Chains A and B, each alone.
Chain A
Amino acid sequence: MSKDPNSTQLAVVGGGPGGYPAAFLAADLGMQVTLIDLEPKPGGVCLYRGCIPSKTLLHVAKLLGETHQAAEWGIQFPDPEIDLDQLRARKEKVVQQLTGGLGQLVKQRKISYIQGRATFLDARTLKIQDSAGQEEILNFQHAIVATGSRPATLPNLSLESERLIDSTSALELAGIPKTMLVIGGGYIGLELGTVYAALGTQVSVVEMMPGLLPGADRDLVRVLSKRLEKLFHSMMLNTTVAEIGEVKGGIQVRLEGDVEEAEQTFEKILVAVGRKPNSSGLGLENTRVEINQRGFVKVNQQRQTAEPNIYAVGDIAGEPMLAHKATHEGLVAVEAIAGHKVAYEPHAIPAVVFTDPELAWCGLTETQAKQENISIEVARFPWGASGRATTLGRNDGLTKLIIEPQTERVLGVGLAGAGAGELIAEGVLAVEMAALASDLRLSIHPHPTLSETIMEAAEVFFGQSTHAYRPKRG
């Protein structure tokens, strides 16, 4: 192994959930690894500005929601007093704890960690500018680019104002505005809207498409919409924001579409219109790496770019832009570099929306099957018939299986309801293992749990379910 500090076997650019697991595995496989990130510790957007802080706050939102619900069960709480500083500190602590833990793991694995900005000079050389502005050159044999993504902006809505925020600044929790408009009815907008609504903000959502969460199955979305209609002040579908302008005490927007009041004023506006890959400014143009029109780096099944010794994983390597997909890709890339015969070939990548209720799905969706003319059967089990859901007072839920008719194989699973994000893991396993509906039906599920709904959905497929009676036709 080379002792030269200016060279490394593997340079991992980006320390998020794509980069750091890749660096860890590579080190465990005996490679000499350098991990480069802008932050002092690994973690990336996921830990610093994404999954982890948002879920910390969503947990609080859930708690607040349950205190309201408790009134129906005879438990009265006074209105909560929210100490925003303490809440923010709690969130920071979670982030510090987790990123600090990763920092420890970096040291234990003897990975060289550089806080700085890396730029490719060519396919063998990186220039790294550290936080103090010092530049160094690093030669590498292989590189993994895992620089992630950033919140997308709307070019026609540029405004220099503290009132116009994105997901990053929303998670900083600077204050609790009285009113907020969320632009974008995707998962980021709905999750953050849920947090702020629970904290007392009057939240409005504007979405250009006719439904929330475009791409998700409508029957799942309907379960969520029903609750959000109560939680949010308004949800304006088929509507776009044509213009914004700062006025006294807020931002005035002009809306176009299915909306009664075209001009409205909000204290804050959260732009959550998706994310864009961080593929520019990396010096990739100094290599043979190819980038497509949407800014994603082109990769093969091993996540190898057109430059054979450079790999790309995570958000920069294409949709879906999800942390767990990035991690899996990172591990595949490292194994490929280590010479193992591996490929990125998931059959099911779970998608979870951490709203209340949660939405989760994996594998083939009904929507996709329709679009691609894939022959399927759908078995649905509504949580109205679930004992566990009833004990929780959460009968608003739905479990569905997407099944291949000839083989009865489970091609996809969809869930809407409390805890759907945890339940979907069984669905992922079922799809990846090519389970048949009868496998799910014949596996004993613990009672009373929400997981039984998956078993009972499989029973529905065979026409007989214990808790959902359906009169015979004809």
Chain B
Amino acid sequence: MATELRLPELGENIETGQVVKVLVSPGDSISPGQAVLELETDKAVVEVPSSVGGTVTGLYVEEGQEIKVGQLILAVEAASREAEPQPETQPPVETQEPVVAKEPAQLEEAVGEVELAEEEPDAEQELPKTEVSPAPALDRPPETPAAIAPAAPSVRRLARELGVDINQVPGSGPGGRISMQDVKDYVRQLNTQAARARPLTQEPPALPLPDFARWGEVQRAPMSNIRRTTARRLGQAWSTIPHVTHFEKADITELEGLRKRYASKAEAAGGKLTVTAIILKVVASALKAFPKFNASLDMANQDIIYKKYYHIGVAVDTEHGLLVPVIRDVDRKNILELSVELTQISEKARTRKVTLEDLEGSTFTITNLGGIGGVNFAPIINPPDVAILGIARASREAVFKDGGFEPRLMLPLSLSYDHRLIDGADAARFMRWVAQAIEQPFLLSLEG
């Protein structure tokens, strides 16, 4: 008997993905765990493994298609349970002469013959029903009876009136029968979901676009999944979080000396000793000293959620767009380890090898544009974090020190924070702490 493979839960907040590549074809023999699809989700490209083994008898997705969690991907015929060969034409051979209570002589057919046809219906099962449109679509494929939703005509009509596809409604009755209440519950659930999703997705109404072609040649390109996600998440963060950005400068003259001295050591370990790697460690210590910066806001319940772990996201610029892989338990790793891990994860991000797990669970984020340039900048918070540290390009400045000007290497830092949780003075203290720790690394071992 055939089993179905549906798109499993892929991770937090991931409901859809675009099929990048289908790795199997009908007729293929697959084993449990074998990858059957490459799927581009909001965050990364992942491989979808099969939960079943057997022969692929039906393939219901194609490359480029957007699919939802729970959507049918494959039908797989289990290898071990071969369907019995069916008699080609007539009903089954009537072998038993049954005994009948009332009129045995009249009985010519086998009584109570129960016949089992193996084999599963396939195809057409997932055909969505479409509504009428002013230009009617004609000759829609006929529905197979196997695909018909177990719902009474009155229930089907209610679903249609409420604008719900009856085939999507989970039935609570025996045999999965769908009741009026099931339809209403489903609509309510959809509404709740929509209401919850609204503040996340709602964007200010876009201004009407002019016809750009009037002024010259243009080209239209669809947003990639990553771009769409970036646009949505940052738009949402910017419009829902009251941002304040605090600027600071840290003297990294000494640190730069140390960094250069130990660079080869990190290289030997397979990493690159960067300012970011060092600041990761500094920030982890700062977060311990200032727990609010490692927290999240639960506005719905009016709670502050303090996290007892220190997972720091690092913004990575890739050719596909911005990705923020997360380095776990930064507080428990030394700078050398961090530099190795940072090198590896950045590489994974650039080659789109990061997994969804690599992108989840940050408590704070660091973004470093120093490698490219800039005097300073105001980054946007990566929710549900409450703060983000920006690093710009260090430059040599004349600093008045010990009665005279000295050339010092100064690193511009910025901290955008959620003013709902963090006050300006908190931010100033946090940034002073970070700058001092950078200037005097000894502090780290003392306090961090």
Interface residues of A (CB under 8 A from B): 218-219, 290, 292, 298-302, 304-306, 308, 336, 340-343, 345, 347, 363-364, 366, 368-370, 372-387, 390, 395, 398, 404-405, 407-409, 411-412, 432-434, 436, 438, 460-461, 463, 465-471
* Residue in B102, B122, B157 whose Cβ sees the most chain A Cβ within 10 Å: B102
Cα–Cα, bound, A368→B100 (Å): 30
The residue from B1, B132, B175, B178 contacting A436, defined by CB atoms under 8 A apart: B175
Q: Is the CB of A385 within 8 A of B102?
A: yes
Q: Is the CB of A434 within 8 A of B121?
A: no
Q: Is the CB of B177 within 8 A of A434?
A: yes
Contacts of B163 in A (CB 8 A): 341
- In the assembled complex, the CB of A401 is this many whole angstroms from the nearest CB of chain B, namely 10
Contacts of B193 in A (CB 8 A): none
Contacts of A461 in B (CB 8 A): 114
Given contacts A341-B161, A385-B102, contact A404 B111 (CB under 8 A): no
Contacts of A341 in B (CB 8 A): 157, 160-161, 163
Contact count band on B? 35 or more
8 contacts between A and B (CB under 8 A): A301-B140, A374-B145, A375-B117, A377-B117, A384-B107, A434-B152, A434-B177, A465-B112
Give the dominant DSSP class at B's interface: loop
Contacts of A376 in B (CB 8 A): 117
Given contacts A408-B175, A438-B174, contact A378 B138 (CB under 8 A): no
Contacts of A290 in B (CB 8 A): 138
- Choose the segment among B90-98, B246-254, B273-281, B437-445 that binds chain A (4+ C-beta atoms closer than 8 Å): B90-98
Does B209 sit at the interface, judged by CB under 8 A?
Answer: no
Q: Is the CB of B152 within 8 A of A219?
A: no
Given contacts A298-B139, A374-B121, A380-B109, contact A364 B101 (CB under 8 A): no
Does B80 sit at the interface, judged by CB under 8 A?
Answer: no
Cα–Cα, bound, A306→B129 (Å): 18
Closest to A311 in B: B136
Q: Is the CB of A304 within 8 A of B132?
A: yes
User: Which residues of chain B from 315 to 349 have any CB-CB distance to chain A below 8 Å in the complex?
Assistant: none
Known A-B contacts: A373-B117, A408-B175. Give 11 more (CB < 8 A).
A219-B91, A345-B129, A380-B110, A384-B100, A384-B111, A385-B100, A385-B102, A386-B102, A409-B177, A412-B145, A467-B100
Closest to A408 in B: B175
Q: Is the CB of A342 within 8 A of B118?
A: no
Given contacts A301-B129, A408-B175, contact A460 B112 (CB under 8 A): yes
Contacts of B156 in A (CB 8 A): 345
Does B99 sit at the interface, judged by CB under 8 A?
Answer: yes
Given contacts A375-B119, A384-B107, A385-B102, contact A308 B136 (CB under 8 A): yes
Closest to A405 in B: B116
Does B11 sit at the interface, judged by CB under 8 A?
Answer: no
**Interface bits B129-150 vs A (CB < 8 Å: 1, else 0):** 1001011111110011110111
Q: Is the CB of B137 within 8 A of A469?
A: no
Q: Is the CB of B101 within 8 A of A409?
A: no
Contacts of A336 in B (CB 8 A): 132
Q: Is the CB of A300 within 8 A of B146?
A: no
Contacts of B137 in A (CB 8 A): 300
Closest to B97 in A: A471
Contacts of B113 in A (CB 8 A): 378, 380
Cα–Cα, bound, A436→B176 (Å): 10
Which 10 A-B residue pairs are closest in the complex by CB-CB distance? A434-B150, A384-B107, A407-B175, A384-B106, A395-B106, A468-B111, A298-B138, A460-B112, A364-B145, A300-B136
Does B153 sit at the interface, judged by CB under 8 A?
Answer: yes
Cα–Cα, bound, A462→B91 (Å): 19
Q: Is the CB of B100 within 8 A of A468?
A: yes
Q: Is the CB of A433 within 8 A of B152?
A: yes
Q: Is the CB of B91 within 8 A of A218?
A: yes
Q: Is the CB of A372 within 8 A of B139?
A: no
Contacts of A366 in B (CB 8 A): 91
Q: Is the CB of B136 within 8 A of A469?
A: no
Cα–Cα, bound, A408→B173 (Å): 13
- In the assembled complex, the CB of B392 is this many whole angstroms from the nearest CB of chain A, namely 58
Q: Is the CB of B98 within 8 A of A468?
A: yes
Does B402 sit at the interface, judged by CB under 8 A?
Answer: no
Closest to B143 in A: A345
Does B298 sit at the interface, judged by CB under 8 A?
Answer: no
Q: Is the CB of B103 within 8 A of A369?
A: no
* Residue in B103, B136, B152 whose Cβ sees the most chain A Cβ within 10 Å: B136
- In the assembled complex, the CB of A344 is this many whole angstroms from the nearest CB of chain B, namely 11
Q: Is the CB of B145 within 8 A of A347?
A: yes
Contacts of B111 in A (CB 8 A): 380-382, 384-385, 460, 465, 468-470
Contacts of B174 in A (CB 8 A): 436, 438
The residue from A375, A398, A466 contacting B121, defined by CB atoms under 8 A apart: A375
The residue from B103, B177, B178 contacting A385, defined by CB atoms under 8 A apart: B103
Contacts of A218 in B (CB 8 A): 90-91
Q: Is the CB of A432 within 8 A of B152?
A: yes
Q: Is the CB of B132 within 8 A of A219?
A: no
Q: Is the CB of B114 within 8 A of A398?
A: no
Contacts of B115 in A (CB 8 A): 377-378
Q: Is the CB of B135 within 8 A of A308?
A: yes
Cα–Cα, bound, A381→B144 (Å): 26
Contacts of B175 in A (CB 8 A): 404, 407-409, 434, 436
The residue from A308, A372, A463 contacting B112, defined by CB atoms under 8 A apart: A463
Does B108 sit at the interface, judged by CB under 8 A?
Answer: yes
Cα–Cα, bound, A368→B140 (Å): 19
Q: Is the CB of A380 within 8 A of B99?
A: no
Closest to A289 in B: B138
Given contacts A336-B132, A376-B117, A384-B107, contact A411 B101 (CB under 8 A): no
Closest to B148 in A: A347
Contacts of A292 in B (CB 8 A): 139
Contacts of A306 in B (CB 8 A): 135-136, 138
- In the assembled complex, the CB of A167 is this many whole angstroms from the nearest CB of chain B, namely 28
Q: Is the CB of A372 within 8 A of B121?
A: yes
Cα–Cα, bound, A384→B105 (Å): 8
Does B120 sit at the interface, judged by CB under 8 A?
Answer: yes
Contacts of B148 in A (CB 8 A): 347
Cα–Cα, bound, A299→B157 (Å): 19
Cα–Cα, bound, A251→B290 (Å): 107
